[in-house]
Amino acid sequence: MSDYKELLEILLTGDGEKLETLVKAALDNGAPANEILNQGLIASMDVVGARMESGEMFIPEVLMSAQAMGGAVEILKPLLSEEDSAVAGKVVLGTVKGDLHDIGKNLVSMMLESAGFDVIEMGVDVAPEKFVEAIKENDADIVALSALLTTTMPMMAQTVKTIEASGIRDKVKILVGGAPVNQTFADEIGADGYAPDAGSASKLAKTLLKKSA
């Protein structure tokens, strides 16, 4: 199966059961697992991300698509060699200290994973030092910081300063997002990129790594 239009259509509806049936059928027809993953599923989730960014799809629909994608990927995992399933990059992701919001962050996590990234999930209320530890331990390419409260924006700035002070700033890209955050603030604190939503976050993550390659 070299044409994955039907797979895209089903992924857009969020019908996980039907998507898994299509993936199994593609395998039965001789399609390589890595081709189904890259040309079928990941390419289709890129479309989902673009539609979310443009306002054509909303969070509940995107969540359904991402969950359907997750089930389909589980079928492919045993058939993928380490080379086939090489990750797009490693991302340390968390909500900064003092902030307990995680819905937006969780959606970003799903979209990044759907785009082929290995996501190291830190959760909420994460201290700057914990981000630094995780970046070092996992040799991360990107750290993604979320803040949903205006009162925790200074902590986002502090986290960036702590990363800079740790001596690893040149080894990691910093991506920021959240309701009160904007491009101006991202520039002020020295982040490499700002994403207004989960769809654009995964796209920006790919762009940042291409630039540094």
Predicted local distance difference test score (pLDDT) of residue 84: 60
Rounded average pLDDT over 22-28: 95
Predicted local distance difference test score (pLDDT) of residue 164: 98
Q: Spell out the domains of the chain, with CATH numbers in brackets.
A: 5-79 (1.10.1240.10), 90-212 (3.40.50.280)
For all residues of the chain together, what is the average pLDDT? 92
For 191, counting Cβ atoms within 10 Å of its Cβ (0-12 exposed, 13-18 middle, 19+ buried), the class is buried
150 has pLDDT over 80: yes
87 or 145, which is more confident: 145
Q: Do residues 176 and 197 make contact, with C-beta atoms less than 8 angstroms apart?
A: no
Predicted local distance difference test score (pLDDT) of residue 213: 64
Q: Rg of the chain's alpha carbons, rounded to an integer?
A: 18
CA 170, chain centre distance (Å): 21
